[in-house]
Amino acid sequence: MKHRRKHAVLLWMLICSGLAEAIEPISTSIAVGMAAALTGFLASYPNILYYFHECCRPEWISFNKTDLNVDLQRKLFGQHIASRIILKAVNGFMNNDNPKKPLVLSLHGWTGTGKNFVSKMIAESLYKEGMNSNFVHVFTSELHFPHAHQIDTYKSQLQQWIKGNVTNCPQSMFIFDEMDKMHPGLIDSIKPYLDYYDKLDGVSYRKAIFIFLSNAGGESIIQTALDFWKAGRGREEIELSDLETALSLSVFNNKKSGLWHTSLIDKNLVDFFVPFLPLEYKHVVQCALAEMEARDLEPDTSIADQVARDLIYFPKSERVFSVTGCKTIVSKLDYYV
Ligand SMILES: Nc1ncnc2c1ncn2[C@@H]1O[C@H](COP(=O)(O)OP(=O)(O)OP(=O)(O)O)[C@@H](O)[C@H]1O
Ligand SMILES: *[C@@H]1O[C@H](CO)[C@@H](O)[C@H](O)[C@H]1NC(C)=O
Ligand SMILES: *[C@@H]1O[C@H](CO)[C@@H](O)[C@H](O)[C@H]1NC(C)=O
Ligand SMILES: [Mg+2]
Give the DSSP letter string of 85-124.
Answer: HHHHHHHHHHT-SS-SS-EEEEEEESTTSSHHHHHHHHHH
Do 45 and 117 share a domain, yes or no? no
pLDDT of residue 299: 93
Distance CA 5, CA 3 (A): 5
pLDDT of residue 39: 76
- Looking at 250, 276, 302, the residue that finishes a domain is 276
How many other C-beta atoms can be found within 10 angstroms of the C-beta atom of residue 200? 13
* pLDDT at residue 20 greater than cutoff 60: no
Do 45 and 74 share a domain, yes or no? no
- Lining ligand 1 with CB less than 6 A are 75-79, 109, 111-117, 215, 279, 287, 325-327
* pLDDT at residue 73 greater than cutoff 50: yes
Do 69 and 90 share a domain, yes or no? yes
Is residue 48 packed enough to be buried (19+ CB in 10 Å), middle (13-18) or exposed (0-12)? middle
What is the position in ligand 2's atom list of the atom closest to the CA of 67?
A: 2
Answer whether residue 200 is part of any domain: yes
- State which of 28-32, 48-52, 197-201, 287-291 shows the largest mean pLDDT: 287-291
Provide the pLDDT confidence category of residue 1 given band limits of 50, 70 and 90.
very low
CB 52 within 8 A of CB 12: yes
Distance CA 275, CA 271 (A): 13
Atom 24 (ligand 1) nearest CA: 111
Answer whether residue 196 is part of any domain: yes
Atom 1 (ligand 2) nearest CA: 64
Nearest Cα to Cα of residue 78 among 217, 275, 273, 246:
275
- Looking at 232, 251, 276, the residue that finishes a domain is 276
Q: In what order do the strands lie in the sheet with 272-276?
A: 136-140, 173-177, 209-214, 103-109, 272-276
Domain tally, the chain: 3
Answer whether residue 174 is part of any domain: yes
Q: Give the residue numbers spanning the domain of 39.
A: 2-51
* pLDDT at residue 174 greater than cutoff 50: yes
Residue list for the binding site for ATP: 109-116
260 Cβ closer than 6 Å to some ligand 3 atom = no
- State which of 178-187, 228-237, 245-254 shows the largest mean pLDDT: 228-237
Do 103 and 145 share a domain, yes or no? yes
More reliable by pLDDT, 14 or 181: 181
Answer whether residue 310 is part of any domain: yes
More reliable by pLDDT, 151 or 184: 151
159 Cβ closer than 6 Å to some ligand 3 atom = no
Longest dimension (CA), the chain: 81
Answer whether residue 12 is part of any domain: yes
Provide the pLDDT confidence category of residue 48 given band limits of 50, 70 and 90.
low
Do 266 and 321 share a domain, yes or no? no
The rounded radius of gyration (Å) of the Cα atoms in the chain is 24
pLDDT of residue 44: 73
Mean pLDDT of the chain: 88
Answer whether residue 230 is part of any domain: yes
The pairing of strands 272-276 and 313-314 is unpaired
CA of 140 to the centre of ligand 1 (A): 16
Nearest Cα to Cα of residue 268 among 195, 215, 159:
195
Provide the pLDDT confidence category of residue 14 given band limits of 50, 70 and 90.
low
CA of 60 to the centre of ligand 2 (A): 14
CA of 92 to the centre of ligand 3 (A): 27
**Alpha-helical segments (H) within the chain:** 2-16, 19-22, 28-44, 48-51, 65-75, 80-94, 115-126, 141-144, 151-168, 184-194, 218-230, 240-252, 258-261, 281-294, 301-310, 329-336
pLDDT of residue 233: 97
pLDDT of residue 50: 44
Answer whether residue 60 is part of any domain: no
Long-range pairs, 308-311, Cβ under 8 A, ≥24? 308/281, 308/284, 311/284
CB 121 within 8 A of CB 288: no
How many other C-beta atoms can be found within 10 angstroms of the C-beta atom of residue 294? 11
Q: String of b and e for 55-64 (b: at least 16 CB within 10 Å)?
A: bbeeebbebe
* pLDDT at residue 301 greater than cutoff 50: yes
Instruction: Say which ligand is closest to the CA of 138.
Output: 3
Nearest Cα to Cα of residue 250 among 260, 241, 242:
260
pLDDT of residue 313: 97
pTM of the prediction?
0.89
Do 255 and 177 share a domain, yes or no? yes
Do 208 and 315 share a domain, yes or no? no
- Looking at 235, 254, 276, the residue that finishes a domain is 276
pLDDT of residue 272: 93
Instruction: Say which ligand is closest to the CA of 124.
Output: 2
Do 46 and 81 share a domain, yes or no? no
The secondary structure of residue 127, as a DSSP letter, is B
Q: Which of 132, 135, 137 to mutate to test the pocket of ligand 3 (most atoms within 8 A of CB)?
A: 137
Atom 25 (ligand 1) nearest CA: 111
CB 189 within 8 A of CB 163: no
Q: For the segment 98-145, what is each residue's pLDDT rounded down to a tens digit?
A: 999 999 999 999 999 999 999 999 999 999 999 999 999 999 999 999
* pLDDT at residue 257 greater than cutoff 80: no
Do 246 and 146 share a domain, yes or no? yes
CATH of the domain at 158: 3.40.50.300
pLDDT cut 70: percent of the chain above it? 86
What is the mean pLDDT of the segment spanning 295-308? 95
Q: Which of 108, 116, 181, 285 to mutate to test the pocket of ligand 1 (most atoms within 8 A of CB)?
A: 116
Do 241 and 317 share a domain, yes or no? no
Provide the pLDDT confidence category of residue 165 given band limits of 50, 70 and 90.
very high
Residues 6+ apart with CB under 8 A from 326: 77, 112, 113, 114, 279, 283, 284, 287
Q: Which of 59, 67, 126 to mutate to test the pocket of ligand 2 (most atoms within 8 A of CB)?
A: 67
Do 262 and 225 share a domain, yes or no? yes
Nearest Cα to Cα of residue 279 among 118, 110, 108, 69:
110
Answer whether residue 58 is part of any domain: no
* pLDDT at residue 52 greater than cutoff 60: yes
83 Cβ closer than 6 Å to some ligand 3 atom = no
Give the DSSP letter string of 239-258: -HHHHHHHHHHHHHS-TTSH
pLDDT cut 90: percent of the chain above it? 70
Do 97 and 26 share a domain, yes or no? no
